[in-house]
Amino acid sequence: MPSQPTPSSAVDSARPSGSHSPWNQDPNSIWPRSIGLNNTDGSTASPLTLSLPKKEERKQERRILRFTINTANKKQLEHKAANKKDTKNTHSKDRTWNKSSEVRSTSQSSQSSLNKRQNLSIAQLRMKYPHIFKLRGKAQGSRQVALTFDDVPDNRATPLVLDILKEHNIRATFFLVGSRAKAHPELVQRIVREGHIIGNHSYNHPLLTKLTLPAFEHQLKDTERVIEQIVGYKPRYFRPPYGEISEKQLRWAGDHGYLVVNWDVDSNDWRGLSASQIIRNVVNGVSPGSIVLQHAGGSAHNGYLQGTVKALPAIINRLKAQNYEFVTVSELLQDRKEKRDD
């Protein structure tokens, strides 16, 4: 049988393969039969010397081209479908991861909120532990008020305040910083000698809520030892610097014989206010059973607490005019001044 003609290179590069490809069919279904096609000299004509009619060639090329394009389009569609599936899976994983992250974030936020809720405010601590944490005395039955002075002693403001109290025959309560008491033992002795009550105000005035419990314990115990060496007893009353104390610290103090005493009237004298402002803050804030916060030490600067010194005589006179009786914290709370070790 004569050999079949070779397709053009352009068509050949694009022709499909497979059992259903037109290239694998009977060549006689595509190419004209060579039998019966003779040359003028009587020889049989070779198909290579013949050409398909132009119309048939174009038809055949279009058919092959359509098949090739359809195959390519099918592969392209399959590729797009695969990419779409991968993208969907990726987005699904991203959503899962984001959801998991949100759950973790929400959980951490909830835990943080829980921790914040567990840090009770001073008012909440007072409500929860009224037997060991005092802000004021009882209001019923008398018009008593307790003047208290923090951050003592120093050799500037403390002697001036003591002079005024002595002149008006007023007894007050002084909360001592351990390092200052150690530096000025003679002033500590004068405070006690003139009938005032002493309380513990930490050793070097830190913010206690930033300390560990062992460090908190040292602040109280070190001050206690200094005071006991000077006056012969351990003070029962403790006032935390800035009035701040944690629940764990408060419980420890109560378990070890301390009574924590803050205040309900703040003079704000430490801000450097004028005498008239301090007088107004105190006189307008006092009620029967009040504990008043003032300062009588804490700075080496000249003029510090000048407003306190000037305001104190007027505060005493105005409250006396309102029939208030000045007492120590021990008298106001009807409690002992000395701490007992259990």
Q: Which residues are catalytic?
A: 150, 295
> Which of 303, 295, 83 lies closest to 175 in space, CA to CA?
295
> Which of 74, 57, 95, 115 lies closest to 246 in space, CA to CA?
115
Distance CA 252, CA 212 (A): 12
Measured in degrees and rounded to the nearest 5, phi and psi for residue 239 equal -120, 120
**Nearby residues of 4 by Cβ (< 8 Å), 6 or more positions away:** 27, 31, 47
**Pairing verdict, β 133-134 and 259-261:** parallel
- State the number of CA atoms in the 13 A half-sphere of 220 facing the CB: 26
* 279-284 CB contacts, 8 Å cutoff, 24+ apart: 279/311, 279/314, 279/315, 279/318, 282/311, 282/315, 282/319, 283/315, 283/318, 283/319
C-alpha dihedral sign at 138, 140, 141, 142: positive
Distance CA 67, CA 17 (A): 11
Distance CA 89, CA 166 (A): 85
CB 195 within 8 A of CB 171: yes
Residues 92-115: b if buried by 16+ CB within 10 A, e if exposed:
eeeeeeeeeeeeeeeeeeeeeeee
**What tokens appear for 146 in the block?**
């307790």
Distance CA 327, CA 144 (A): 7
Distance CA 249, CA 236 (A): 15
